[in-house]
């Protein structure tokens, strides 16, 4: 277990949320998959009859909403995803001298976060881009965004699947508390749609695209009217194969299809649900207790957004009968699972209404397994 006792006086001074313009409802997604499945089953009727190929089952909008709480997701481009002849987005390749798509998404969220924090590029010393997938290995997407913003400092990319945001925020806290940066811009451009198998009913509904960003800095340098002081951070990882993506640059050398079986997102959702809920609840309970705070004294839990039933279970463990959607807000109905960005979206949309002195916790849980959390208190600056 990694537990970091940090000095006080470090704040989140602003966050930004950029939502792609195109949305897909469960009904639209299911219609595309069912048309694809019918066509596949017609074309493979003889092999299916002979037991050589498995028939593709239909998906159902009712199942999706009941099992996950997801009603909608935003994507960069919906047309290809809903085309039964394609079943994947169409995102044309860009030239080296154009901003790459993930940098473009991240830049939009970064500008919103800097505006909210009242920060200029010259106030920032470091940029961290952290997401479940990165569009390329190098040059780092963070350095591309750093260049586009004109920030004089350093940048790097990192990946911790669903905990990419909370773990990156913790690295930003480390940098600010050690003095290696005055302010750090943490950017999470979750470009999920290219890695979703839209022909697979078990997972076609889970993910959406989005970008979020946050500014971490010392309280003394903060120009925002209010900010969230970080009271403590906590991170934990435990190896599990229950959520896995084997997509790799080594596929070429292994003579296998880089997009073949097992290479896109896959999971044993039931096992994840059963194993992660108690881990996350215990992690959060112990974190706030170590800080001398009763879980019931936390005004808001900005939980990871993968499954509404999971969040209700965790909220109930933490708050008992006082668990309400106001205290553990849900954004996955609208955004679906946006990898590491979900809890930051919840924080962005559901924190301004709280008065100074309120306490809250941002928490992620998912692949790895990984759990990351930050306990916060709203302050007047
Ligand atoms: N329509 C109709 N039926 C369906 C569908 C569908 N779309 N999908 C599955 N079914 C069927 C199944 O085949 C199964 O049928 P049968 O009983 O005949 O086998 C039946 O419905 C029940 O299926 P499940 O047991 O799978 O259903 P669950 O109730 O468990 O619900 C969930 C499935 C919603 C996936 C649920 O298990 C869940 O949400 N679990 C938690 C998962 C979780 O939190 N995962 C984290 C994943 S993401 C993550 O950590 C980040 C990875 C990085 C990627 C990020 C990119 C941005």
How far is residue 117's CA from residue 104's CA, in Å, rounded to a whole number?
Answer: 20
SS3 211: strand
Give the residue whose CA is nearest to atom 15 of ligand 1: 202
**Token duo for residue 365:** 């849980």
What's the gap in Å between 92 CA and the centre of ligand 1?
A: 30
In the beta sheet, which residues pair with residue 359? 377
Does residue 309 form part of some domain? yes
Token match 């279970």: residue? 313
Does residue 185 form part of some domain? no
Contact 205, 66 (CB under 8 A): no
Which CATH number covers residue 300? 3.40.47.10
Does residue 135 form part of some domain? no
Does residue 57 form part of some domain? no
Predicted confidence at residue 7, as pLDDT, reads 75
Q: What residues have CB less than 8 Å from 206, skipping those under 6 apart? A: 68, 70, 196, 265, 306, 336, 337
What's the gap in Å between 265 CA and the centre of ligand 1?
A: 12
What's the gap in Å between 267 CA and the centre of ligand 1?
A: 8
163 lines ligand 1 (CB under 6 A): no
Domain span at residue 281 reads: 2-11+227-380
Digit-by-digit pLDDT tens for the chain (381 residues) are: 455 566 789 999 999 999 999 999 999 999 999 999 999 999 999 999 999 999 999 999 999 999 999 999 999 999 999 999 999 999 999 999 999 999 999 999 999 999 999 999 999 999 999 999 999 999 999 999 999 999 999 999 999 999 999 999 999 999 999 999 999 999 999 999 999 999 999 999 999 999 999 999 999 999 999 999 999 999 999 999 999 999 999 999 999 998 887 888 999 999 999 999 999 999 999 999 999 999 989 999 999 999 999 999 999 999 988 889 999 999 999 999 999 999 999 999 999 999 999 999 999 999 999 999 999 999 999
What's the gap in Å between 196 CA and the centre of ligand 1?
A: 13
Total number of domains constituting the chain: 1
269 lines ligand 1 (CB under 6 A): yes
Atom of ligand 1 nearest to the CA of 64: 7
Does residue 204 form part of some domain? no
Beta strands in 225-369 (DSSP E): 226-237, 243-244, 266-267, 300-303, 359-366
Does residue 275 form part of some domain? yes
Does residue 136 form part of some domain? no
Q: Would residue 162 show up in a list of annotated catalytic residues for this protein? A: yes
This prediction has a pTM of: 0.96
Q: Which candidate, 89, 85, 92, 95, places its Cα nearest to that of 40?
A: 85
160 lines ligand 1 (CB under 6 A): no
64 lines ligand 1 (CB under 6 A): yes
201 lines ligand 1 (CB under 6 A): yes
Does residue 181 form part of some domain? no
Predicted confidence at residue 5, as pLDDT, reads 63
Q: What are phi and psi of 187, to 5 degrees?
A: -125, 135
């Amino acid at each position: 277990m990694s537990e970091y006792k940090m000095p006080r006086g470090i704040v989140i001074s602003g966050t930004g949320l950029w939502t792609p313009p195109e949305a897909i409802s469960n009904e639209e997604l299911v219609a595309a998959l069912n048309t694809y499945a019918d066509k596949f089953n017609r074309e493979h009727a003889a092999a299916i009859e002979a037991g050589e190929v498995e028939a593709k089952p239909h998906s159902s909008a009712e199942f999706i909403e009941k099992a996950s709480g997801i009603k909608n997701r935003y994507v960069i481009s919906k047309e290809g995803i809903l085309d039964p002849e394609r079943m994947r987005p169409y995102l044309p390749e860009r030239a080296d001298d154009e901003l790459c798509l993930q940098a473009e998404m991240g830049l939009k969220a970064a500008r919103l976060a800097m505006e909210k924090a009242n920060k200029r590029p010259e106030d920032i010393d470091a940029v961290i881009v952290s997401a479940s997938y990165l569009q390329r290995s190098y040059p780092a997407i963070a350095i591309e965004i750093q260049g586009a913003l004109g920030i004089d400092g350093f940048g790097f990319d990192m990946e911790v699947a669903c905990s990419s945001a909370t773990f990156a925020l913790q690295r930003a806290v480390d940098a600010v508390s050690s003095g290696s940066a005055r302010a750090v811009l943490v950017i999470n451009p979750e470009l999920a749609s290219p890695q979703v198998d839209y022909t697979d009913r078990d997972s076609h509904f889970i993910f959406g695209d989005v970008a979020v960003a946050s500014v971490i800095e010392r309280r003394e340098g903060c120009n925002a009217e209010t900010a969230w002081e970080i009271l403590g951070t906590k991170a934990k990882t435990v190896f599990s194969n229950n959520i896995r993506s084997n997509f790799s640059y080594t596929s070429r050398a292994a003579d296998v299809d880089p997009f073949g079986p097992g290479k896109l997102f896959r999971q044993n959702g039931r096992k994840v649900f059963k194993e992660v809920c108690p881990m996350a609840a215990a992690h959060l309970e112990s974190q706030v207790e170590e800080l001398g705070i009763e879980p019931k004294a936390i005004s808001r839990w900005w939980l990871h957004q993968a499954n509404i039933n999971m969040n209700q279970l965790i909220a109930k463990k933490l708050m008992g009968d006082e668990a309400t959607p106001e205290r553990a807000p849900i954004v996955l109905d609208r955004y679906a699972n946006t990898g590491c960005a979900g809890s930051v979206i919840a924080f962005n949309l559901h924190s301004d209404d709280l008065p100074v002195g309120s306490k809250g916790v941002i928490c992620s849980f998912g692949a790895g397994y990984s759990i990351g959390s930050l306990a916060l208190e709203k302050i007047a600056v």
